[in-house]
Structure 1
């Protein structure tokens, strides 16, 4: 079926040639039996040819439109899944959750969601979540109100050492060094 959908509507000459090869022997058989019979037969065959051509063209166009609709519907559905996941990360990054909780809510597999996120954003779920948490923690660290331990908890980490490791991996320096650098530049 896929190969049929890739076809474009055939050109009139491309259909007409085999059509004439099939119908010409019948014309030759009937030639001269009755006056105008050959001409009437040709007109009838020409009408039949146009009907067949229009039917094939119409069927191919409908198949192509259906294929296009399925493609765009699927694309929209995938985009909605990505937007839903990104929205969930934005709204809940400060909570302790993982990919499995999100996929349960979204009714899809973790492999599927991770693949979609990677295709649309270039990052996996955990990288996007970590990035959001680190960006928010940088804002909090620059204010100098809370301790690093409090900030790690505020951005969804249950273990301060995990937070420090993730922060250093992402930013290149520890949260404490980042705070010192931020305060030195602002003060």
Structure 2
């Protein structure tokens, strides 16, 4: 079973931190959140030089600058995650299918996965009332999708499960910080 490692507080020295991890773990699998202040070309160049598997996602405020910066390395990415607006930018700079899998989300509307050699698969979220801020729904979708693809589920099945998880995320009340203590059993 693959392990997931996170390093909190790394944003203060994001590019240096990312390059250090890539050097320490050649041929590993990485998910890169392309946003300021990451030096996207340096990180993507290092990932391709080290034969790492990687996926990318973008953040709308920085996408107009970082999608063009990432374009030379998009064919090396296993999966790219974008929302509908970012997909328009991606298509403008890199064509309609710049990597093996492109996952496109559009809020409460259906998500799609575009593949080089197949028709797109569409997964519609259930119509449920959201009880919380939508913050985190995209991260939930991407994380769930990648977890299932790592377990070799086909893209369509992974997208269906990811859309379900993101929908469920929006229908749950968030935990308070710090989380309330549970009684021991």
Task: Note whether the superposition's TM-score is higher than 0.5.
Answer: no
More strand by share: 2
TM range (shorter): under 0.3
TM-score by length of 2: 0.24
Q: More helix per residue: 1 or 2?
A: 1
The higher radius of gyration belongs to 1
Choose between structure 1 and 2 for higher RCO, CA contacts under 8 A separated by at least 6 residues: 1
